[in-house]
Structure 1
Amino acid sequence: MFLNCKTWFSFHYGTYEPAKLIAQATELGIKSLALTNINSTADCWDFVQKCQAVGIKPILGAEVRNANAFCYVLLAKNNAGLLAIHAFLSYHKQQEITFPERPHFTAQDVWVIYRYQESILQQPLGAHELIGLDIQHLNNLTWQLQADSNKYVILHPVTYQDRTYYDVHRILRAIANNTLLSKLTAADYAGEGEVLMEEKELVSAFARFPSIISKTMEVVNSCSVEMEFHVDKNRKYFTTSEEDDSALLRKLAMEGCKMRYGMRNKQAMERVEKELKMIANLGFNAYFLIVWDILRYANERGFYHVGRGSGANSVVAYCLRITDVDPIKLDLYFERFLNPNRTSPPDFDIDFSWQDRDAIFEYIFMRYGRQYVSLLGMYTTFQRRAIIRELGKVFGLPKEEIDRLVHTKEWNAEDKFQRWIKKYGELLVNFPTNISVHAGGVLISEKPLNQYVVTELPPKGFVTAHMDMFEADRIGLYKFDILSQRGLGHIKDALQLIASNRGKHIDIHQVENFLNDPQLAKQIRQADTIGCFYIESPAMRQLLGKLKCSDYTTLVAASSIIRPGVAQSGMMKQYIERYHDRDKIVYLHPKMKELLEETFGVMVYQEDVIKVAHHFGGISLDEADILRRAMSGKYRSENKFEKLREKFFANCRALGYADAVTAEVWRQMESFGGYSFAKGHSASFAVESYQSLYLKTYYPQEFYVAVINNFGGFYRTEFYFHELRRNGGDIQLPCLNHSDYLTNIHGNKVYVGFIHLQGLEERFAHQIVIERKKNGEYKDLQDIFQRLHPSPEQLNLLIRIGALRFTGLDKKTLLWEANFKSKRVEKEVPVSLFATADEPHFNLPSFEEDRLEDLKDELDLLGFVVGDFFELLEEKHLQGSITVQDLPAYLGQQIKIIGRLVTIKETRTIKSERMCFGTFLDVDGGWLDTVHFPPVYKQYPFLGAGFYELYGRVIEEFGVYSVEVLSMRKLGYKFGASK
């Protein structure tokens, strides 16, 4: 009887969580429900599955609106009707056009229900068109209208739970309209009484009109949508048949095996055969071939890529060059990749440069058909800070008070607005706010995607499904992860720069040579890894130093134990201690030694969780993989986590383990299960780290220019310029005759790109380069005016940064002349195409050059200086200061050191007190790590970028030195500007 129910996926309108809507309907004895979210079917399959589980008949459709204006409710009679509704919504969303007053659907597939109003009463209706009546309309019905009552159905809207959630609904509408709650009009929000009630109460209200009740039941009975859950709905074949797919995959795998392992490697051949059989049995031939096809296209286009994820555990993937990780060499856990009980496909994360990924998306859409491909959606949700800000605006609080509430836990219970924010804020947590785009998921379906989902066209320009990964997984659509990563941009651009600047062409996939290179081993051991993918952060460099890491296997482990779960549980420290001193290895149980001997008794990888759950806890492999995923939060909402936990403990008791041992094993599993990597994932990261490190070690100048031009890395761009200068780069300020839009390199001379000049218009910057390439270098100021016609503001920026230094004139003279010429242009004095004899000349006094003024211009216009930053510091501050290389000589002693702040990382102690880790550069350019414990951090806070005078004690852990700061103060620049 309820044909118009909304959940919170009617964004900023409905207030029901889907499960709670169904739970309340069950309590009220309701036997059928129609889900009709506004212009969306985002949660339709979750709704269907949950309804079926409790014996409620699910009906699917949508409430169509143009902005606030209600148009009609659409109900699918069957799957063809749902396809038609999805296609209808998708077309209008993608084209961004209003919905029509009267939609066209076939009578056998879709019901169209209009609201009772005079305009619709006067129009002839088709067999599938109806008029919906709510209780409030009953008084308007006359006996004359009853004569045509076959066109009327009960259309009672369900929007919110009760009076409290009615207020939540109105708040959501105010947020959606970006207005004060008090300024909402009646047209902006739902009417009162749009709640669920007992079906008999609704029927009773229409008791005078039995034909309307009968027609409503006819509609309910006529609607039936079917779905086989967790059944594969992805593209079935890569070729035209299962047999051809199997033959092609075998051919490619065998050819790749011979190339990777040689002609006589029996172990590799047997592993390939085993995997091919498993892949075929589980129906994943097409999945592998599609990934192979995407990478084949990428290789043709010269797009560099890295394959990661659990697929890196596969020898077939290695042979197809999907990954560069050798599973046999690393003894990767095959069951993490595929096992007979696994229904979801192996997980390939394919990383591309951020510059290339859109071209890959475009290829997938073209290759497999736009009806069948979409990006995967996801939903952003309300969380604490956003809730406070939105509610503060809705209630009319001033910005200053909202900012204070966001950053404090001390609220005034006497303040009614703060009470309202607290009350309604708690109710809004986790409400979906809008559909967005998944980080890289792509769906490729066997049938048109509108069979299952509405699609729209976000600003990114690629069709995106109104479906998140959990809904997709529920119905059997598995995503391909096509990810974007700036680290790959570094590698790709560095290779191109090396080729153009040095004439050398490098095969970056010769990873085996990199792993055995003693110079790279030395670089890792010394943690000289700034700019290198995944191994450049302060925490990672410290870890590499503590491990004295100099080999691939240790780097693979390091890339996983740095993750928050391992580090915060204390197991990272345990791993380091046991790595250096095997006598400290203590196994909780002999079985744990058997499982974790490779990692010294510490769970490091996701495979370790699976192995322990299976071999120690007696859980099957497929359940162990589900447990691993549940520990990452993916299935907790479906209660699988608790069921598996109970089974684990019960099995351990049956196996005779002590309760304390079982509890500690579980604690270790749970503490990092959500953050750890698959071993193949870590191995893939380590391969890319070695590739970056190779380029940094042997071609540092080109490497750092590539890092700078990709604007990606752990640190701000200025610190990569710093490393570039340390590695021999002759860095030049922007120049009209030598700079490009991005930073370029010729020999060892590097010209800063115009992109870094703050305030310079992008269009004008490109114009400078295009004109220079077309008509040659600029000669003088007159030539610049004639060819570029710059505005005074843009020209002044270029002069102040020194971009016109090729003229031989100092900056002040250039500014005088430029502004004089600009004023002549403003007075419409024509600038001749040729120099004229009557051009006015005047004599200017000689201006003194001021190095500090130049440095200030660099700081103001670039945000950094290209030379030695310490030129900005008074030398007196360096008296009595040591440097980073001196730290070992002062172990345990209190010292003074001057540092230029690079970055800070705030964290909290077990007592929830704020503390901080800092990273600085010393006067020699050395990298300094500092620790700021809570009392010191509170007394001596950071005051922004710049120089700091640090007093502290030199400490050491596993050979890595840092400073425990006891006090510090900010130092100004010579010219007095504290930036």
Structure 2
Amino acid sequence: MYLNCHTYYSLRYGAFSEIELLELAQQNQVTQLALTDINNTSAGLNFVRKAREYNIKPILGIDFRNGVNPCFIGIAKDNEGYQELNAYLSEHLHEEKPIPDRAPRFRKAYVIYPFETVMLTEQSEFSEHEFIGVSIADLRRLPFSRLIAYKDRLVVRQPVTFRNRRDFNAHRLLRAIDNNVLLSKLPQEEVGNEEEKMFPVANLAAAYSQYPFILENTEQLMQSCSIHFDFSKQRKPQNLKSYNSTTEEDEQMIERLCYQGMPYRYKNPDQTIHDRLKKELELIKEKGFVSYFLINWDIAREARRRGFYYVGRGSGANSIVAYLLRITDVDPIELDLYFERFINLFRANPPDFDIDFSWRDRDAITQYIFERFEHVALLGTYVTFKERGIIRELGKVFGLPKSEIDFLCEGHYSASDLDEVSSLVLKYGRLIRNMPNYLSIHAGGILISERPLHYFSSTHLPPKGFPTTQFDMVIAEDVGLYKFDILGQRGLAKIKETLHILSYNKPVEFAKVDIHDIRTFKKDPNINNLIKTAQCMGCFYVESPAMRMLLKKLQVDNYLGLVAASSIIRPGVAKSGMMREYILRHRNEGRAEKEAHPVMLDIMPDTYGVMVYQEDVIKVAHYFADLTLGEADVLRRGMSGKFRSREEFQKVKDKFISNCRKKGYEDKLIFEIWNQVASFAGYAFAKGHSASYAVESYQSLFLRAYYPLEYMVAVLNNGGGFYRSEFYVHEARMLGAGIHAPCINKSEAANCIYGTDIYLGFMYLKELESRVMERILSARQKEGPFSSLEDFLDRVSVSAEQLSILIRIDAFRFTGINKHRLLWQAHLLISKDLLPDHPKLFPPERNNFKIPKLYTTDLETAFTQLELLGFCLRSPFDLLATPPVNKNGCHSLPEYLDRYIDIYGYLVTVKNTNTHSGKRMHFATLVDQFGEVFDTVLFPPVAAKYHFRGRGIYRFYGKVVSEFGFLSIEVLKMQKQDYIPDPRYAEMKTATRRLPERGRNIKKSNAEAGPA
């Protein structure tokens, strides 16, 4: 009898989930009800999936509204009707059109107009599919209204939005957030009726007892509705069934493409390769995944045609079919990738393919997919209300000032110290925690369906401009829709841009480069030495302090070692304590045989019996605990963090333990192994995935080894990486580059290189307007370089403020005129009466002004760079008020091993973490006064006493320690060092102070240069 039920997917309106709605219905003896969220269908599929568990017949519909103003309710007769409703809503969401008062003539859907709406519009004619909804509140007006005459059109419309007063309070908060107003100023018309509740069926029938025809009409309507989606284990994929016209054509095509690709991948394929290919093809065909592979092949082929670099990874990278189709560059035979991780008979979903593209190319390939295939949409996701977001939103709703909101967000307070309003924010915040706030886009998921995607849900149109489903990846998989992951990353853009730079900076060498020659790269001693010594700044996935530390500890000097390291660094292995054990077994011959269980060592000999990869979960479950491959896959999916049935997962866990006990293993061993499995939750990489990452790392390392300056420019132009831009500038200097501030005649918007000279781009001038950049580059392109400040002003419209930025950064240094003198000239030359955008028909006449002799100090230049660029182009150690009292640096650590050292370092990055007991500690990476990197650790007692206070130079006193050959400093004392006062604002005698001789030379040797 309930045809108008809302969940919290009626965004910023509803107050509880679709599961709670079903629980509520069960409590009230309701056996059928319609879910009709407001302009949203996010909950529809899961509502249908779960309804059977509550013995409730699900009906789907949509509550069409303009804001909170109801227009009509659409109720789907069947799946086709649901598709009609979804298409209609999507059209209005995409085009941002208001919903009309009168519904269209749906073929397979009913329309219910609210009683009040019909009364206001005086609608008098109703089609066969149209009804008038009467709520309990409307019953007292019904006998006196003209609508009593429409007996065959009247149905029960008792909205269900709240369960209790708590829900209503949450609703009011959500409405205030949505309207961006104080709770006290929330208009009453923006709030729902508190009586929109569910009553037991008997009570509802009693309320309408005087009008039995309303109950009969409602029952007939609901009985005529039937919605079904297949969520069974035997469900068929809903993806595009065939790439070609028929399945048979697909099967012939995939086999043909694999054998065509054989010579490219294998010069002399042996029987092992042919057997693996045959086995894979048989399973792919049997499981109905052929079109899935061919679509990925199509995407990869188009990328190559356009010259887009890509990396294919995920469990699909374990596949020889994917390797032959060039979806991935990972050879499963070379790496002995576990076949059952890729696919097995018990696996319902196809293997994952994550295809990474340059962040610059990703939108183009997405556009291609939408144009190439018919039924396409991006996959949606939900952004939920989390702690800080709740505090910020409710802080505004309750009228807290920003300073108090910030204080609450920081979390450093005692509840007893809070005033009443702050306490209310925290109290009521619990009402909306984890509710969906708004719809967003999955990081890379794209759905390509056999049916129109409106068969499953409505779509909305986010700013990217591609239709996006209103449901997420979990329910998509449940219903048989498997995503294609098209992801963007900056590492590939760095590789592509480096090659572009080489094409004009070193064209002869560029012609010799084959960036896909991974076989050669793997054997290159120069590349492998970079890995072993952790000289990986800017290189994909191997540049972080933690990875640099791991590479040194493992003494990695080959591809397979890097593949393992790429997965060992993940939190799953580290959390289980097996990262340290892996290092010990790697470095100490015989330890694996001594410490590892024989079965574990037999299963995973390459990783010394330690679980490193995601497929190791399957191996251990299958061989150690005797689970079937199907049960092992349940376990693997449970570990991934996106598994749906926790009950099924618990059963498999229980069987894991039970089987191990039957095999005679001791509980201590069983739970030790289980804890290792459990620690993989959401973190483990498939081996093929790690191998794909390692391939890209080798490509990056090749460029860094042989074309380091070009590569660093590309790194800077693509957003850097793990570190701030200044440290990539510093690295380029250490590699032999001359670093130059932005120049009017040499610089571009991004960084550029001429030989070994790198000119920083205008993009680093934070206050320089993009339109000014465009004018400078356009004028230079049309008429060549600028000859003087006057020439510049004749050709470029610019305000005095914008010109001042360029002069202060010394962008006119080619003139040979001191920048203070140029600032005077600019002030005198730019007419205050002339708007900067005013076109100049003729060059104005210039007067020769007499300007006093001026000069600029090196220190003043450094502080100006610090202000305008965010970093200075010389060593920050030159800016210290008190110069370092010693020459200790990274090179000194070996001689101080197990002794105490006094050392200075410029802060690169800090990782704050907690011990198992919850105490704070810090890992910090710094650059010494000679430009070399070193690492420190502040254990909890020291971290409680000393704090890092932003970027700058710190002086440390601590003990040099070694762990597996990796040297670091356990800090005992720390003090931030002061810079000299900014000479631009200090007294004249301070301003005229010159740098000591060690700091005046702009072009320092690499040994002397500090970070830029």
Same fold flag (TM > 0.5) = yes
Q: TM-score range by the shorter chain?
A: over 0.9
Q: CA contact under 8 A between 2:84 and 2:108: conserved in structure 1?
A: no
What is the alpha-carbon distance in structure 1 between the residues aligned to residue 425 and residue 854 of structure 2?
61
Partners of 2:625 and 2:428 in 1: CA distance: 43
Matched, 1:430 2:437: no
Show the counterpart of 2:392: 389
Quote how far apart the aligned CAs of 1:639 are. Answer: 2.6
Amino acid in structure 2 at the alignment position of 1:12: R
Correspondence 1:307 to 2:285: no
1:364 aligns with 2:385: no
User: Of 404, 408, 412, which residue of structure 1 is paired with 2:407?
Assistant: 404
1:929 counterpart (928, 932, 935): 935
Does 2:62 align with 1:62? yes
Distance 2:279 2:652 in 1: 30
CA deviation string 1:456-478 (max 9, x = no partner): 11111111111100121111111
Q: Secondary structure at the match of 2:772?
A: helix
**In structure 1, the residue corresponding to 2:753 is in which secondary structure?**
strand
Amino acid at match of 1:518: P
2:111 aligned with 1:104:
no
| Secondary structure at the counterpart of residue 926 of structure 2 | strand
| Letter paired with 1:302 | G
Does structure 1 residue 727 correspond to structure 2 residue 735? yes
Could you tell me how far apart the structure 1 residues matched to 2:207 and 2:3 are? 16
Match of 1:867 among 856, 865, 874: 874
- 1:887 paired residue among 876, 884, 893: 893
1:587 offset after TM fit, Å? Answer: 4.3
Whole-angstrom CA distance in 2 between matches of 1:655 and 1:966: 51
Amino acid at match of 2:692: S
C-alpha contact 1:906 1:915 (8 A) present in aligned 2: yes
Q: In 2, Cα distance between the equivalents of 1:145 and 1:317?
A: 65
| Helix, strand or coil at the partner of 1:442 | strand
Shift of 1:451: 1.1
Q: Conserved in 2, the CA contact under 8 Å of 1:731 and 1:750?
A: yes
Q: CA 1:204–1:887 in structure 2 vs 1: closer, same or farther (change >3 Å)?
A: same
- 1:362-511 map, 5 Å: 362-369=367-374, 372-406=375-409, 407-408=411-412, 410-412=414-416, 415-503=419-507, 504-505=510-511, 506-511=513-518
Deviations along 1:415-459, whole A, 9 cap, x unmatched? 544553444333322211111000000000111111111111111
State the partner residue of 1:123: 124
**Cα gap change, 1:650/1:892 in structure 2, threshold over 3 Å: closer, same or farther?**
same
What is the one-letter code of the residue matched to 1:574? E
8 Å Cα contact 2:313/2:689 also seen in 1:
yes
1:268 aligns with 2:273: yes
Paired residues, what number? 975
State how far apart, in whole Å, the 2-side matches of 1:54 and 1:344 are.
27
- Mean Cα displacement is larger for which, 967-976 or 465-474? 967-976
Whole-angstrom distance in 2 between the partners of 1:115 and 1:918: 67
C-alpha distance in 1, partners of 2:413/2:73? 44
1:518 paired to 2:521: no
Contact in 2 for aligned 1:613/1:624 (Cα 8 Å): yes
Deviates more, 1:104-113 or 1:951-960: 104-113
CA distance in 2, matches of 1:12, 1:635: 27
Aligned to 2:563: 556
* Structure 1 Cα separation of the partners of residues 542 and 602 of structure 2: 30
Q: Given residue 48 of structure 1, which amino acid in structure 2 is its aligned partner?
A: V
> Superposed, which structure 2 residues align to 1:524-923 within 5 Å?
524-585=531-592, 586-587=594-595, 589-635=597-643, 638-823=646-831, 826=834, 839-874=846-881, 876-923=882-929
Structure 2 SS opposite 1:158? coil
| 1:637 Cα offset (Å) | 5.8
Q: Counterparts of 1:930-969 in structure 2 under 5 Å?
A: 930-969=936-975
* Aligned twin of 1:201: 203
- Give the superposition deviation at 1:483: 0.3
1:322 maps to what in 2?
Answer: 327
**Which residue in 2 is equivalent to 1:22?**
22
| Contact 1:60/1:82 (8 A) holds in 2 | yes
Q: Give per-residue Cα distances to partners, 1:623-677, cap 9 Å, x unaligned.
A: 2122122123222664332222112112222222212211111011101232111
Q: For the structure 1 residues 141 and 835, does the alpha-carbon distance in structure 2 shift closer, same or farther, using more than 3 Å as the test?
A: closer
Q: How does 1:8-47 map to 2 (within 5 A)?
A: 8-47=8-47
> Is the 8 Å Cα contact of residues 559 and 694 (structure 2) preserved in structure 1?
yes
SS at match of 2:334: helix
Q: CA deviation at 1:145?
A: 4.2
Question: What are the Cα deviations for residues 341-364 of structure 1, in whole angstroms up to 9, with x where unaligned?
Answer: 111011110000000000000000
Q: Distance in 2 between matches of 1:455 and 1:414?
A: 44
Query: Contact 2:860 / 2:982 at 8 angstroms: preserved in 1?
Result: no
CA contact (8 A) 1:379 1:433 kept: yes
CA gap 1:748/1:135 in 2 versus in 1, 3 angstroms: same
Q: Secondary structure at the match of 1:271?
A: helix
TM-superposed CA distance for 1:81, in Å, is 1.2
Match of 1:94 in 2: 94
- Going from structure 1 to structure 2, the CA distance change for 1:933 and 1:91 (only over 3 Å counts) comes to same
Shift of 1:583: 3.2
Partner SS for 1:484:
strand
8 A Cα contact 1:114 1:129, kept in partner: no
Of the candidates 336, 346, 355, which is equivalent to residue 351 of structure 2? 346
Task: Say which SS state the counterpart of residue 38 (structure 2) adopts.
Answer: coil
In the alignment, the residues of structure 2 paired with residue 158 and residue 419 of structure 1 have an alpha-carbon distance, to the nearest angstrom, of 30
CA displacement, residues 595-629 of structure 1 (integer Å, 9 cap, x when unaligned): 12221121111111111111111221122122122
TM-score (norm: length of structure 1): 0.97
Q: Mark the CA change 1:263 to 1:589 in structure 2 (over 3 Å): closer, same or farther.
A: closer
Whether the aligned pair in 2 keeps the contact of 1:107 and 1:127 (CA below 8 Å) is: no
Say whether the 8 Å CA contact 1:303–1:353 is kept in structure 2. Answer: yes
Contact 1:146 1:209 in 2 (8 A): no
* SS of equivalent residue, structure 1 residue 330: coil
Q: How much does 1:78 deviate? A: 1.7
Aligned position for 1:138: 139
8 Å CA contact retained: 2:72, 2:103:
no
Equivalent position of 2:994 in the other structure: none
Tell me which residue corresponds to 1:152. 154
Deviation at 1:521, TM superposition (A): 1.2
| Map of 1:297 onto structure 2 | 302
Stretch of structure 1 that moved more, 110-119 or 265-274: 110-119
Q: Do 1:412 and 1:418's aligned partners in 2 also have CA atoms closer than 8 Å?
A: no
Distance 2:838 2:700 in 1: 54
Contact 2:115 2:138 in 1 (8 A): no
* Structure 1 residue ranges without an equivalent (≥5): none
Deviation at 1:825, TM superposition (A): 5.3
User: How far apart in 2 are the matches of 1:828 and 1:340?
Assistant: 70
By how many angstroms is 1:778 displaced? 0.8
State the distance in 2 between where 1:853 and 1:962 align: 35
CA distance 1:109–1:21, shift in 2 (3 Å) = closer
Listed one character per residue, the Cα deviations across residues 823-853 of structure 1 (whole Å, up to 9, x for unaligned) are 36549999976667x6321222211221111
Q: Which amino acid is the alignment partner of residue 957 of structure 1? A: E
How far does the alpha carbon of each residue in 1:737-759 deviate from its partner, in whole angstroms, 9 at most, with x for none?
A: 11111111121111111111111
